[in-house]
Copies of this chain bind each other. A is one copy, B any other.
Amino acid sequence: MAQMRICFIGDSFVSGAHDGECLGWAGRISAAARRRGHDLSPYNLGIRGETSAQIAKRWRAETEVRQSVQQEGHLVFEFGVNDAREVNGKRQLELAQSLAAVREVLSAAARWKPTLMVGPPPGTDQARNARVAELSTEIRSVCAEFSVPYFDSYGSLVTSSLFLADVKAVDDTHPSAAGYAEWAKLIDAWPAWRTWLP
């Protein structure tokens, strides 16, 4: 039985926006790990609307105060869709800006604590999806540089009719409880996650 604190740091997909059950994928994979007998303390540090640059500014202070001598600390990041989102016709962060933030976060995180990265998911806006798919591929490369396991949410969910129908019914961006459950099922089966919490 593993004993650990895990900080989940990211955007609205981490905080579970539009999930009527208030769990998101982070809450669901944490509850599943507890059902397998692990003593896991999850800390959900997702904030709606945040880009990688905003997360780069706050993640360290917020995760440092959540460490403990009693339980080993771990980090799981997820972000990217807000970077690729256009606001008033302008992409919020250019690809190079996103990758600079990803590199800044992951280089420090991976030196400090066991770290995983969950990639941004698809939605129903095809133009944005193309930007998210490109960003996801690039984040995967940065993760490889720092030996951080990467979960390809985009590739895993872009063929899921359940997930995409759910997102379409909500706001073209977020799933509801059913879509979060589908996403959580995939992450829960990810070998890198199961290495932490068999």
Contact = CB atoms under 8 A, between A and B. Distances in A.
Contact of A22 (B15, B34, B54): B34
Contacts of A27: 22-23, 27
B15 A21 contact: no
A43 interface: yes
A15 B41 contact: yes
Contact of A48 (B15, B44, B47, B68): B68
A22 B17 contact: no
How many copies altogether? Answer: 2
Contacts of A34: 20, 22
Interface in A93-127: none
A58 B65 contact: yes
Contact-residue size bin, chain A (C-beta under 8 Å from the other chain): 20 to 34
B17 A41 contact: yes
A17 to B, nearest CB: 6
A172 interface: no
A91 interface: no
25 contacts: A5-B48, A15-B41, A15-B43, A17-B41, A20-B31, A20-B34, A20-B35, A21-B31, A22-B31, A22-B34, A22-B42, A23-B23, A23-B27, A27-B27, A41-B48, A43-B44, A43-B47, A44-B44, A47-B65, A47-B66, A48-B68, A54-B65, A58-B65, A61-B61, A62-B62
Among A21, A54, A62, chain B packs the most CB atoms within 10 A around the CB of A21
Interface in A167-181: none
